[in-house]
A and B are shown apart, each in its own frame.
Chain A
């Protein structure tokens, strides 16, 4: 497995993802500049977090028109894993690879903290190492994370089991308090119908090593292991 981590002007979590892939999981991964050639030699791609193009106009929209996105779309169509984290999730919705939109947080503040997530679908390429309903701990850090989709879109999401993660409290229950940004139905991550394109606002790469986690949990690592088809 060889993974491309796309770098846009303003990406700032690219190296963290690359570190987890190469140093923690010992797989081959490259940082790929967003205008560079093609991704033919890669088996999967990660769009990392950050502030591509300074979030100008709307977070993710300018990066969604980057040359590399043609390649990302091709990989998505071929069924290869495409993972968008935070700004990467915003880029995926703006490029039409995932449904819905990410709006400014309901509290109008940048929110940076550890949250609890509930696994709503463990049948995607990225979540097969989790159990259904498992509670995960991961950090968020964003200003535009309020997921929204119109009522028809929401019923389509549910019909095709595309809601992958929801924000919950420590007991795994939904509450307004546990929803850090006002996302519709506390949605924290969604996938495409095929389950090979996942976008999520939380940062799995920041929850992949015990030393970086307040509880020592490394829940985020399982997303990468699952996407890489790694064993224990």
Chain B
């Protein structure tokens, strides 16, 4: 069966503060001259290899798993799932 590379990106909902992103922007980027930077949000990336019959099925498996195993916390986080080339 073919394998598919699926990326899962977990980040805080837009309404939830992300102090790590705020510090990276303020204390690293803006303070060192990159004043064009107007927003930074940190996220967690899981690169997952899935065996499935199609890309569609691979994404469905990962999506179900993310909900079932609380890979992201639905109270404060959102999770997006995309297929990548490699």
Contact = CB atoms under 8 A, between A and B. Distances in A.
B75 interface: yes
Interface in B51-71: 69-71
B19 A104 contact: yes
A221 B16 CA distance: 36
Nearest to A107: B19
Contact of B73 (A61, A104, A108): A61
Interface residues of A, number: 18
A58 B73 contact: yes
B19 A106 contact: yes
Interface string A81-107: 000000000000010000011011011
Interface string B67-86: 00111010110000000000
Nearest to A149: B75
- The dominant DSSP class at the B interface is loop
A153 B73 CA distance: 15
B75 A150 contact: yes
Given A64-B70, A65-B69, A100 B19 contact: no
A130 interface: no
A101 B19 contact: no
Contact of A57 (B23, B71, B75): B71
Q: Which one of A100, A101, A104 has the highest number of Cβ atoms from chain B below 10 Å of its Cβ?
A: A101
Contacts of B44: 57
Nearest to B23: A108
A57 B19 CA distance: 18
A148 interface: yes
Interface of B: 16-17, 19-20, 23, 44, 69-71, 73, 75-76
